[in-house]
Amino acid sequence: MERILYSDNFWEFKGEGEYSDRKFLMGSPFPVMMILVSYLWFVLRFGPAVMKNREPFSLRNWLLFYNAAQVVISFIISALGIHFLWRYGLWHSTCYCEKDGTGEQIIDGSYYYFLTKVIELTDTVCFVLRKKQRQVSFLHVYHHTIMVMATWSIVKYSRTDNTVFLGVINSIVHIVMYGYYGLSVFPHLTKYLWWKKYITVMQLVQFTLMFLHILVSHVVSDCKPAYILTASVCFNTVLFMYLFGDFYVKSYIKKVKASDIVSAGKKISSNIGTKNSINYIINHHKLAGKMH
């Protein structure tokens, strides 16, 4: 029986339940919950404890393969999504997922996108095995966990035309992000990876566009996502804008200011004993004061 509810309440769902239920991990939420519980246990407790007195794994060959595969997969998903958006537009007055035979295509595309989010949990596992626990931050772990939960919920309950854009914009960002990760495996390329901070900028733009798109979709489209999905996307995109913005400030703005102060201190030391040393110290003291 088709599970399509057309009530104007908070829990409004659309979709063909039986079709998605036959797919791997989609029949019940428990397998996905077990994956996430195991993931959190490993990256927060078991993994760090096991690696505490061990040498970090290199994983160089695996990382090359994994990041290259992620770039290819993200490119394919974004290309298919862009083709859909080009054909039907960003917002729809008609639910094409219920016509034209595109409903199952949207479910399939959303399902494959969900599987990529499950695979991306590997990112954190690799951090733990390489003893880069500092990168296993709240932002990182929460982001990976919530993406699995959200994409599973979309495939299970609320596939609409207007959720395609969310996957497209995220996949485009991931092409660049995993491309960077792949290149960073080669130490001699580090000096060419100065553009790392712009990946965070892309992510901030991504969350802004997602927030605006889901809101506009809910206002102007007759193919509205579920109310709870709209609320969840709005909450998490705002949260991610704050968390990623805070990360950007701490990683790139405050670090630059700190390095400027250190550089000024070195110049002061080198100028001690010269006739301009007093003026140099005064000027750089003013500079440091402005930075605070």
Domain boundaries, the chain: 17-252
> Residue 11: what pLDDT?
44
> Residue 178: what pLDDT?
97
> Residue 90: what pLDDT?
82
Active-site residues, by number, are: 143
> By C-alpha distance, which of 238, 242, 246 is closest to 210?
238
Distance CA 213, CA 217 (A): 6
Q: Are 189 and 183 in contact (CB under 8 A)?
A: yes
Average pLDDT over residues 2-18: 44
User: Which is more confident, 262 or 57?
Assistant: 57
Whether the predicted pLDDT of 233 surpasses 70? yes
Q: What are 84-141's pLDDT values in tens digits?
A: 889 888 876 667 666 656 777 888 889 999 999 999 999 999 999 999 999 999 999 9
Distance from chain centroid for Cα 202: 10
Q: What are 16-75's pLDDT values in tens digits?
A: 456 778 899 998 899 999 999 999 999 999 999 999 999 999 999 999 999 999 999 999
> Residue 279: what pLDDT?
57
Distance CA 290, CA 284 (A): 10
Tokens of 37: 């519980």
> Residue 271: what pLDDT?
54
Distance CA 71, CA 173 (A): 10
Q: What are 182-206's pLDDT values in tens digits?
A: 999 998 988 899 999 999 999 999 9
Q: How many residues does the chain have?
A: 292
Instruction: Work out the pLDDT band at 221, boundaries 50, 70, 90.
Output: confident
> Residue 18: what pLDDT?
67
Mean predicted lDDT score pLDDT of the chain: 83
Instruction: Work out the pLDDT band at 158, boundaries 50, 70, 90.
Output: confident
Distance CA 159, CA 155 (A): 6
Q: What are 236-248's pLDDT values in tens digits?
A: 999 999 999 999 9
Q: Are 214 and 207 in contact (CB under 8 A)?
A: no
Per-position DSSP letters for the chain, written without gaps between them: -------SSTT--BS-HHHHHTSTTTS-SHHHHHHHHHHHHIIIIIHHHHHTTSPPP--HHHHHHHHHHHHHHHHHHHHHHHHHHHHH-SS-SS-GGGSTT-HHHHHHHHHHHHHHHHHTTHHHHHHHHTT-GGG--HHHHHHHHHHHHHHHHHHHHB--GGGHHHHHHHHHHHHHHHHHHHHTTSGGGGGG-TTHHHHHHHHHHHHHHHHHHHHHHHHH-SSPPPHHHHHHHHHHHHHHHHHHHHHHIIIIIHHHHHHHHHHHHHHHHHHTTSTTHHHHHHHHHHHHHHH-
